[in-house]
Structure 1
């Protein structure tokens, strides 16, 4: 069932209000803020990879503060254990029973700071919860609730004491993006004290609002020609010469969900090929595994997807609803 225009307008207004609130703390980065919001409303997770001091943590904390829900921060370190994230079962001598002590993963928005500093065993503790929104401890599965968003950060420059995220872990993130340095005008505003501290950010939406927006995004109409365009783009990544492993069906589904959410954020009841184009690189680039020769020659996944978008023609007309 396609959403009404009134619902799409409300969605766009709520989306803009949330983005404006986050932008009080992260100046000059509205496109990245919008990408993170699209990922959240697509029931996905975000990996922010950038050099230190660009505002990765500030963005995550500002978004968490903007929602009237629970939020936690997990500082990933080499000695962090899986139970420190998911929680543990403790025996209570008074009652003679085992009690579950929930870990910080049980929150609406979870900031996984410097995720690549933890061991692969600890990183793997996030695999189930990021895919299924459940945590299994001692054979018992517990839901983390809705909405649920993991925003992870990592520094690509410093490699000492870090562990590279495996491909299975990267594939759990709906998007991977970076903030980059602010432009000159934004830098002047920041230096002049124009950026608000994240602790001063006030909530503007409730978790129930986010759930309603997520449900509306699922009802955005996606024409068969647009779905075919997504499928052709995904197929092209698998046959590209520089690619050893292309985009999986999980990646294709993620792109489709994000396309719906982006269309709703624009106040439309239907998705367009432009929505797909805008999301291809942040949604698919981290899922590509390039040939060793291509990496040695300096080829990037972003460049490969840019060429794919040039070679795969988008549909030029829309079928009747």
Structure 2
């Protein structure tokens, strides 16, 4: 948060007045670790409007434009390795130290059963395909949890602050994806099938989500273009990869435990990664489950 307040221009972060972690003398003195941060007269975007796809197009555009601008500016800060910003001192010429990336995915999805299978498959995809291997040795700064629950807005949907920075870290470009409530995790074929049938039960939701995705993609392009004109390019580009398979695969991993079934999501992961379906995909998944069980035993 201190780093952003000293370097960012469009990322609204609360001012941090005091922070005492577990074990510090001040925390011991008061009997608890604590953080004192700036307050705002606003609400989370999630509480104000749970599904922004229901809003008029001009209001959606204002929200998504701010969202993309914040994400894009964060991405102008890049580092040579994956990890989290663990220290920042303005007095030391803005030097930051990069800590190791925790195995968050393994911890978050260690539920066993189909959830564990999906995580195991994701690890195999990262290891055995080129989808998550970039030539650039540069990793963007990313909030990692910038959903509507962590964006504070006023009554006009102006962004007041982005909160909950505990997972912020420098991360590969592939972790960027279309956010809730308009994630891109279904196949193009299934989406088009629904869009071509106005009587389909999911037509309204899918058509609204598709429109929001297009708007988000356009606003991300605009934000990257504006930053490049300021001499602050986003490298590698996020907008160029948002519709790609790696971004969609990572989005699937993040949606585990939500409204989608893990088996369907895992199958879509395999299709996007290897281009296989039907029996070939089934055989691959069975092989992965055997390997996973062997490791566990």
TM bracket (short chain): under 0.3
Higher relative contact order (CA 8 A, sep 6+): 1
Normalising by the residue count of structure 1, what TM-score does the alignment of the two structures yield?
A: 0.22
